[in-house]
Amino acid sequence: MLLLQILRIITFLLFSSDLDVYHIIKLINVFYIIFFYKDTIKNQLLLAKYISQLGICVIKLCQWGHYFFSLKLENNDRYSLLLNSLPLLKNNCQKPKSIRLDEYLEPFIDKLNHVNKDTMCFSASIGQLYKGYLKENNQEVIIKIKHDDIEQEIQKWKSFLYQLVTIFELKIDLNDFFHNINLQLDFQNEIKNLKMFHRRYRKNT
């Protein structure tokens, strides 16, 4: 039964999915570790590393579904390695500096005195951060931009995951998940949330 499941997954990845070779190989490694490695701290870290390398959608899907996976799989020892690796997932992504950085900064060039374009402060699952200074008072600010082609990457995984759910008849509703992902891509919505957070908690110390 286990071998049949593995063969179905590999066949799907090789012949039915739209993923590139890099992500297919990473996914095969992930499934191999889940099914054949023992649940040890070393293997939990290894599995978390491979899952994290798959990018935003897989990381956030695992984080989003962690509670539900735990309820469904907690009594199945075969998946204990997977469940114990999920809290170890990393949001930081090794993405290169955006080649469109100057384009993104162009609308704000009259407000900025200087931007350190050569060094990213941080790179997370959706975007990357740079340090800059305002012309008005030289105040230090942090500038957040999206990773290049992040929308296309999410669309690719969306297509793949919907195929996966359909083919294997999984009872997972991905609509809310991708709705939340799209909200995180909307920086205008993020600004509204930050302003609301500031209004409510600005007097807290």
Sites in the chain below the pLDDT cut of 70: 1-3, 5-6, 16-17, 71, 73-74, 91-94, 205
Percent of the chain with pLDDT over 70: 92
Helix, strand, coil shares, percent, the chain, to 5? 60, 10, 30
Global model pTM greater than 0.85:
no
Amino acid letter, 98: S
Q: What is the pLDDT of residues 143-172, one digit of tens each?
A: 999 888 888 888 888 888 888 788 777 778
CA distance linking residue 149 with residue 61, whole number of Å: 19
